[in-house]
Amino acid sequence: MALLAVLFVCLIYGLYWYGASALPAELPTAQRAYPPEVRQAYWRSESGREPIEIERMDPLKLVWRVFVLTRDEHIPKPTAEERVLTHASRLATIRRTDHISMTRHHLASVASWIRFSNERTPEQIIDLLLEQSAFGRDAFGYDAAAEAYFGLPAQRLTRAEQLALFTVMGNPSINDPDRHPDRFRRHYLRIAERSGVDTSTIDFERDLARLKPASKPAAP
């Protein structure tokens, strides 16, 4: 029994290191720190509640966590912690793992999940997402997105406008307000509900009146 346990641990850590070897030695880091209120707003949009906390993980702890979550028929929705680490993992692997097998890509994603939880504070992870995520309209980062969608500096956005940016953040082509307005509104309502907003008070025409239409390419 002890031998089986040792072999199991070796297998889990072997898979972890195989995935981790596809990652850069240094995980991506944000070049700036965002205001605490912006971090909190993003954290709430992922269904998080104060304080912002992310548990430090290791391969065995993660395997146990997955086992606990999946042993029942009803699998709970991802937590804010899981969503944030998943988004950060995508940023770490999207450029490094396009030339490797799908299996190793998935293992690299899991390894980056674990590394982020140990090598970065929760605030640093959120700063990275706010700074480097794609928002559409050729905008990368929260500040560029504020200008692209509202023509305003980020600090002048209303809460509703902020939620609109979190709606397109990371998946701009899927939730684009111009190309997929119905889908955008549905996802916006989910983001607002996660953030603790009473969705019955939302009026898109009023709340997002400053939302700019996407610029169209010049005619030939």
Residue ranges per structural domain of the chain: 12-70+77-132, 157-212
Using the predicted structure, report yes or no on whether residue 186 has a pLDDT greater than 90. yes
Q: Is the dihedral of CA 154, 158, 163, 165 positive or negative?
A: negative
Q: What is the percent of the chain with per-residue pLDDT over 70, rounded to a whole number?
A: 94
Query: C-alpha angle with apex 206: 201 to 209, nearest 5 degrees?
Result: 140
On the question of pLDDT at 72 being above 60, the answer is: yes
- 4-8, 77-81, 112-116, range with greatest mean pLDDT: 112-116
C-alpha separations of 62 from 56, 57, 200 in Å: 10, 6, 38
At residue 11, does pLDDT exceed 70?
yes
Q: Is the peptide bond before 78 cis (omega within 30 degrees of 0)?
A: no
Q: Which tops the pLDDT comparison, 4 or 138?
A: 138
Biggest CA–CA distance in the chain, Å, is 73
Mean per-residue pLDDT over the chain, rounded: 89
Phi, psi of 7 (to 5 degrees): -65, -40
How long, in residues, is the chain?
Answer: 220
Q: Is 151 left (phi over 0), alpha (psi -120 to 50) or beta?
A: left
Is pLDDT of 159 > 60? yes
Q: pLDDT tier at 173 (50, 70, 90 boundaries)? A: confident
In this predicted structure, the answer to whether residue 131 has a pLDDT above a threshold of 90 is: yes
Q: Which helix (H) or strand (E) holds 94?
A: none
Least confidently predicted of 6-10, 20-24, 94-98: 94-98
Check residue 66 and give its pLDDT.
76
Task: Give the Cα-Cα-Cα angle 65, 42, 203 (nearest 5 degrees).
Answer: 120
The pLDDT assigned to 219 comes to 38
Q: What is the mean pLDDT of residues 51-78?
A: 83
At 67 the pLDDT is 78
For residues 21-35, average pLDDT: 91
User: What contacts 156, CB < 8 A, 6 or more positions away?
Assistant: 146
Mean pLDDT of 82-98: 81
This prediction has a pTM of 0.89
pLDDT at residue 30, as a whole number: 94
* Predicted local distance difference test score (pLDDT) of residue 95: 59
Q: What is the mean pLDDT of residues 30-52?
A: 95
Indicate the pLDDT class of residue 218, thresholds 50, 70 and 90: very low
Instruction: Supply the pLDDT for residue 96.
Output: 56
Strand partners, 19: none
Q: What is the pLDDT of residue 216?
A: 58
